[in-house]
Every structure is written in C-alpha cells, then in structure tokens.
Chain A
C-alpha cells in the first residue's frame, strides 16, 4: 500500500496569512491525526478526525482547524499565522492502534 502523503512538503508564508495543508491517508484508514513538531515543544497533538468527525482536539488555539472528507483525506488550516507557527506539521493515519506518519509539511512563517 502507498504510505501517507502530505502536500505541500515545504511552505513559506508571512505573518497574518493563512495556510492549508493536505493529507492523504493510507487506503482504508478512516482515522487521520495531525501533530505539530518543533525543536522547543517536540511533538504535540493537534486533532484527530474519524469518519469526517473531529474525535479529539489538542491544546491549540482556534486558529488551528481541520476537516476530513468522505474519502478520508484531511486538511488542516492555520489562520492569522504567527512566527511561532513555524514547524513541521505531521499527518498520521491509523489502523486500530497503529499510527503511520507522513513525511510532514515544513511551514516557515516570516
């Protein structure tokens, strides 16, 4: 099976802009989770979607949002970007307990 794919791989934005990241899960996986990875805070859970419904949400401000489509593909959106949003954003799709991560989208906010 093909792995988790994320697009774009790299993104540069300026403060105040918004950004949308995309994730295509492994075929057959209905759960998609998003994580933010930074050198200072490590890997932090953003949210999880299962069958188009948000099932869990981490401790991030409302500027971070997501959605999942009927084909299980997911997008996350960050509005009003701040410098501190610069990070690697990872998507993971799940089969039961096991989460398979994509390569991530590297977001740089200038």
Chain B
C-alpha cells in the first residue's frame, strides 16, 4: 500500500521556471513532511521540511505548501536552475514511529538552460 503518492513522475522546465511537485498522503497520523533531493550516485539530501501546524514554509528558492484538510503538500522551486536537475522525493513520518520515513515515488526534474 503506497501511503504517499507523488506526481508527476517526471518534469521538464526551462531555466527560471517554477516546477511544482505534489504529494498526497492517507495516514492522518503523519506529522512531519520532508522533501529530499537526490543526484545520481548520491544519497538523498534534505531540502526542506514542514509540520502540519503551518501552511507554508520557505527556505531560499524552495517553498512547501501544506493543505492538512486535503492531506496534500507540494514543493515549489522558484527561479529554477539547471543545477536543480535531480530527483525529488517527498516523505512523511509519524511522531510516535521513530524516524521511519515513508517516501513518495520520486519526481525526476530536468531544468533546461
């Protein structure tokens, strides 16, 4: 059972565009929602994370929007650059489940120069 659904699977944007990646979850016990960036041959690196008590969080060019009632959250990348080309994963975890992350399927982003 896939508890975190991520879309789209792949995305191509022009430099300067704003790619948006969406995730939806089913488990209402989830209370921590991180986004990870992964380059080929590397492990995932934490980009930004949010908790359900806020609807939006910004860190640099990355913004998470969170809709608790819809059980959805999304990542926006402002002024995207070719160096942002990578695979992005959303994830979720429960407060009482230690550090067990449930990941979305991933989105392969390509930013064209």
Contact = CB atoms under 8 A, between A and B. Distances in A.
A1 to B, nearest CB: 15
A44 B98 CA distance: 15
A97 B44 contact: no
B92 to A, nearest CB: 11
B89 A97 contact: no
16 contacts: A4-B43, A42-B103, A42-B106, A43-B106, A45-B100, A45-B101, A50-B98, A55-B98, A90-B44, A98-B46, A99-B34, A99-B101, A101-B36, A101-B43, A101-B44, A103-B41
A94 interface: yes
A8 to B, nearest CB: 15
A58 interface: yes
Contact of A48 (B36, B91, B99, B102): B99
B98 A56 contact: yes
A79 B43 CA distance: 24
B100 A33 contact: yes
A58 B103 contact: no
A64 interface: no
B49 A97 contact: yes
Interface string A77-91: 000000000000010
Contacts of B43: 4, 90, 92, 101-104
Contacts of A31: 98-99
Interface in A11-59: 31, 33, 35, 42-45, 48, 50, 55-56, 58
Contacts of A33: 99-101
B97 interface: yes
A97 B91 CA distance: 12
B105 interface: yes
Contact of A99 (B41, B46, B104): B46
A43 B44 contact: yes
